[in-house]
Structure 1
């Protein structure tokens, strides 16, 4: 790699990370006009790199199914990563790597696939077998666990979202003029579940949970809920053909709050919120979005403050932040029952009851019990058989009493009386 020029190094870095990828990859660059982004399919990535390479060039670590860099649009989760801001702690990057090799790799965290020396800090990247967006809650739990393991080494807790971009090999960090370099350690792609099993066993579902295991599982469930609710907001806007006038402020407020809770990065949450707003048929002005949703960030910060949580609990609340019930969200957004059918978590009692009933039916089917229609059909067939037998008995014993017929057919006198009525009505 040392003999390759900057373009060849950048091209190899992108290929090593994203070969055989599906979806859009985001290229980003800091310019005088701001942070520019371009979304490209993997086959066209090399061509675009030749035009973009230079100072402050980044690329997304995961792919998107639309040409937009949003968590809700994740196509494939292709890597885990930890950004180590070692320069803030005055740690030398080489010393950091040496310490990691001795005390962390293959102990509390697996050995990374590659290491990006970004000019000031270090980024550890673990390539994984691609998984779809449905695995995002598990991915986020593993991601946050890795960051917590490396927090003392400068692990950036704000750089944990799935839409993150990092610097590209061969590019230049304009802050100090240093060239970005990548160290490739192995080409093995980890399996996300294997990482969970080996490094986060507490995420395994268990009936009884105590202490740390209970805390980890609760966090995992929280990630799942926040992600599902974000997807519900996106779906609701789609169902209304992006025409949400009269509800824009509320939708964006909820979106920004749940983004803060999910990515734990207020700046990234705001960026995602502004993108979401731009998709409305009549978007709000940027200043209006920031003003209307500012309290969402404030509530999220309070949620992560021990003092604020203690005050909230003294007042009878579960904790600081917004603990909104579905009924309240449905009321605020006037979500109809037809719309609820297509949502995951923001549903009312009627829809919840319907889903529980269907789940029980499905469980009975799996356990070998017949669906109601099949059951009714089987019962009718049994009745037809008994009516046929009764008619034969009447033909042979025309003077038999109901009791005598019951004895011959093995049925109660009451059942014989019911069957005789059906015979007469035919």
Structure 2
């Protein structure tokens, strides 16, 4: 009976969170400081939950397009969340919830849909209308805002990436034997854009060159998140294009992957876990020790990037900041990315590919605005010429003795044009 009740709790929790979802959902169990995990489609999840009852059971908050719990595999972003490790500050979870209800909910932050009492702290979950992975930079911006509001209560920055898993209702926290339980507060799903408009402060802006005396402001919405994410996706795509045969580039690829994961996740432990998994997909993976050795400096660079003092010193020397500020041309040269490969990538592209895309974009814009293509223009001119030839032939039949000047006046064209048309008529006979 107890197992049946626990199973119902877990099934309701996952259903409430993931109803109508698409993609894979990860279930995980923590064993000896590592996660054993499996990925299920939504239709399979409820039937398989009975295998995952017990201690330290987790499930993913977003879904993946393939059975792989990685940032670059995100299919749908379905929720935002903040894990408050309030126990580290000796704060009682019930006291914290009361304070948040009085001073934070619907004021500094929206009211969460779900609150997970994880056995030690509180996890706040906001359900959102599903958005694709392309919205990840905006998702991360809103996520960071929510985290910043709850930092004083132990908000954990390391538990804020899109591939995060949290404990499931009815499972047991092995650290203290407490059962996890969930409080459902409402089923309204927020929209990501509305949350950004209502809660985020005005983001950094810059001025473009003055046009007609009026400066135009351009909002830059967490472009660093966009860049790190786009480069991660490109790195994965490059490995796929090479059929995972990247011998000779493995150390460098793992180094870049770990560095960009650190920048994006702000969680060095998760970054190395993801890097080791990425390496395992190569045709000839590096030994784990070799991955750790070859990518060690990536975490050091990220640590420096997160240091105010290191950033100050770097800027004094003329750099944009601490850490690695690599140009696309440098990465392309290091990895020998060909022009053909660049055509499949989004951001790791050279000047030639960039010009090609700009040309295509301008051409498409002109077409949208109603500007004809060269082929369309030539076709229209041919039709006009045929019409003129038909009219000239009729005029010659009606006025056989007319001069070229008289024919030009009757047709409303120049004498020069009449000469060209007469020449075409002779050629067509």
TM-score, reference length from structure 1? 0.91
Q: 1:185 maps to what in 2?
A: 185
Q: Structure 2 vs 1, CA of residues 48 and 309 (structure 1 numbering), >3 Å: closer, same or farther?
A: same
Cα shift readout 1:368-391 (whole Å, capped 9, x = no counterpart): 222332222111111222233344
Q: For structure 1, which runs of at least 5 residues remain unmatched after alignment?
A: none
Per-residue deviation, 1:106:
0.5
Q: 1:300 maps to what in 2?
A: 302
Q: 1:130 maps to what in 2?
A: 130
Instruction: State how far apart, in whole Å, the 1-side matches of 2:281 and 2:382 are.
Output: 55
Cα shift readout 1:172-228 (whole Å, capped 9, x = no counterpart): 11111211111111122222222222222636999889xxxx999545222122111
Q: Structure 2 vs 1, CA of residues 163 and 19 (structure 1 numbering), >3 Å: closer, same or farther?
A: same
1:339-350 matches, within 5 Å, as 339-350=341-352
Q: For structure 2, which runs of at least 5 residues remain unmatched after alignment?
A: 210-215
Instruction: State how far apart, in whole Å, the 2-side matches of 1:74 and 1:412 are.
Output: 65
Q: 2:268 maps to what in 1?
A: 266
1:16-415 matches, within 5 Å, as 16-32=16-32, 34-200=34-200, 202=202, 217-218=219-220, 220-395=222-397, 402-415=404-417
Per-residue deviation, 1:60:
0.8
Counterpart secondary structure, 2:45:
helix
Instruction: State how far apart, in whole Å, the 1-side matches of 2:207 and 2:404 are.
Output: 56
Per-residue deviation, 1:128:
1.4
Instruction: State how far apart, in whole Å, the 1-side matches of 2:221 and 2:291 are.
Output: 29
Per-residue deviation, 1:160:
0.9
Instruction: State how far apart, in whole Å, the 1-side matches of 2:167 and 2:241 are.
Output: 37
Per-residue deviation, 1:87:
1.2
Per-residue deviation, 1:421:
4.1
Report if aligned partners of 1:326, 1:346 keep a CA contact under 8 Å in 2. yes
Instruction: State how far apart, in whole Å, the 2-side matches of 1:216 and 1:151 are.
Output: 30
Counterpart secondary structure, 1:72:
helix
Cα shift readout 1:63-100 (whole Å, capped 9, x = no counterpart): 11211111111122111100101111111111111111
Counterpart secondary structure, 1:80:
strand
Cα shift readout 1:280-327 (whole Å, capped 9, x = no counterpart): 111111111111112221112212222222222222222222222222
Instruction: State how far apart, in whole Å, the 1-side matches of 2:91 and 2:27 are.
Output: 29
Tell me the matched-pair count: 421
Moved more, 370-379 or 401-410: 401-410
Report if aligned partners of 2:116, 2:180 keep a CA contact under 8 Å in 1. yes
Instruction: State how far apart, in whole Å, the 2-side matches of 1:323 and 1:382 are.
Output: 57
Instruction: State how far apart, in whole Å, the 2-side matches of 1:326 and 1:19 are.
Output: 41
Q: Structure 2 vs 1, CA of residues 206 and 323 (structure 1 numbering), >3 Å: closer, same or farther?
A: closer
Counterpart secondary structure, 1:158:
helix
What is the RMSD of the two structures over their aligned residues, measured on CA atoms?
2.6
Q: Structure 2 vs 1, CA of residues 419 and 297 (structure 1 numbering), >3 Å: closer, same or farther?
A: farther
Q: Structure 2 vs 1, CA of residues 216 and 206 (structure 1 numbering), >3 Å: closer, same or farther?
A: closer
